[in-house]
Amino acid sequence: MSVIDKLKQKSDFTETEQRIADYILDNQMDMAEITVQNLAKRAYSSHSAVIRLTKKLGFTGFKDFRVAMVKEVQDNLHVVSNVNANFPFTSSDSAFEIAKNMADLSIESIQKTADKLDKNVLEEVAKILIKANRIFLFGTGDSQIRARSFQNKFNKINRYPIVAGEYGEGSWHSLNLEEKDCGMFISYSGNNHQSIQYLNYLRNEGRNTILITGDANSEMAKLAKYVVEVPQTEYNFVKVGTFASQISFEYILDTLFAIIYEDEYTTHLVDIMNKEKVSEKNFDN
């Protein structure tokens, strides 16, 4: 059994030993530097209580325990475990375990999204965005936050996408979307009622529309011209938060921005460098 598992199990631990074990589990990254005196003080125990605990765990003393503990922590950092996207942590997890689970969820979500990407669709979508006179971004809730982040990146290359769904102006933006423009929709479920109406109208008008979604068989997916699918690992309602889906959306949007930037890499780079010089001369940042 691993050191961490033994600490969690607390087999035959006294109340003081349980308190020491809880402190160690909550502060695993500090074990490389902590002394037995400091550990005793922070866990409101004594030097001898710490030593007794390490011996109960099968070690000759604190130094022996610390070496094993640090090695195990470091090894665990490099192992990506499967995390439940709906409940990535439990009520009994320590702060360190929650941090590790969230890191694993992020890594796993990006990897699954990358594996699901259709290269041809990704390239076609990027071409549409590069050529578009205007880009209208439709999304609600957390997805609208992702849209705003995408919008902010484009500002750096002198392009200004429009977040179309805010202030209840989605219908007007749909009506104003012209032949050389593009509408990009971000919806995990792909079943937003208003967005379905917008997409239906834009489809009938022959406009370029892109949907990033977790359901390629949704009503919105049936109406969009291009569909970029992300892994569907979250329930619609019963979940802690929209962690996995938003990580996937952010990854897709960052990737699209990078492709668009690369299309005129030197031009964008020179422009940014020149503007930084002007900014330093004229503005207090």
**Residue of higher predicted confidence among 6 and 80:** 6
The reply to whether 29 and 153 lie within a common domain is no
Q: Are residues 131 and 271 in the same domain?
A: yes
Consecutive H or E run containing 26:
helix 15-26
Tell me, yes or no, whether 250 and 180 share the same domain: yes
CATH number at residue 203: 3.40.50.10490
- Total structural domains in the chain? 2
The pLDDT of residue 41 is: 93
Average pLDDT of every residue of the chain: 90
- Asked if 151 and 251 sit in the same domain, the reply is yes
| Confidence (pLDDT) at 186 | 97
Residue span of the structural domain in which 208 resides: 117-279
Same domain, 68 and 149: no
Residue 1 has pLDDT above 90, yes or no: no
The average pLDDT across 238-250 equals 84
Is 103 a domain residue? no
Model confidence pLDDT, tens digit, residues 82-138: 788 888 888 888 888 888 888 888 988 999 999 989 999 999 999 999 999 999 999
66, part of any domain? yes
In this prediction, residues 175-198 reach a mean pLDDT of 95
pLDDT of residue 263: 92
Q: The domain that contains 18 carries what CATH number?
A: 1.10.10.10
Structure tokens at 162: 């429009």
User: 259 pLDDT exceeds 70?
Assistant: yes
Distance CA 159, CA 238 (A): 38
Q: Phi-psi bin for 118: left (phi > 0), alpha (psi -120 to 50), beta?
A: beta
Do 65 and 138 fall into the same domain?
no
Q: Does residue 210 lie within any of the structural domains? A: yes
Do 25 and 145 lie in one domain? The reply is: no
Q: Are residues 154 and 242 in the same domain?
A: yes
Residue 9, CB half-sphere, CA atoms under 13 Å: how many?
11
* Residue 107 is assigned to a structural domain of this protein: no
143, 187 Cβ separation under 8 angstroms: yes
Is residue 104 in a domain?
no
Q: Tell me if the pTM is above 0.85.
A: no
How many CA within 13 A on the CB side of residue 160? 0
pLDDT in tens, 45-68: 999 999 999 999 999 999 999 999
Q: Tell me: do 133 and 226 sit in the same domain.
A: yes
- Residue 109 domain-assigned? no
> Is 207 a residue whose pLDDT tops 90?
yes
Domain end, chosen from 47, 78, 109, is at 78
DSSP annotation of 132 reads -
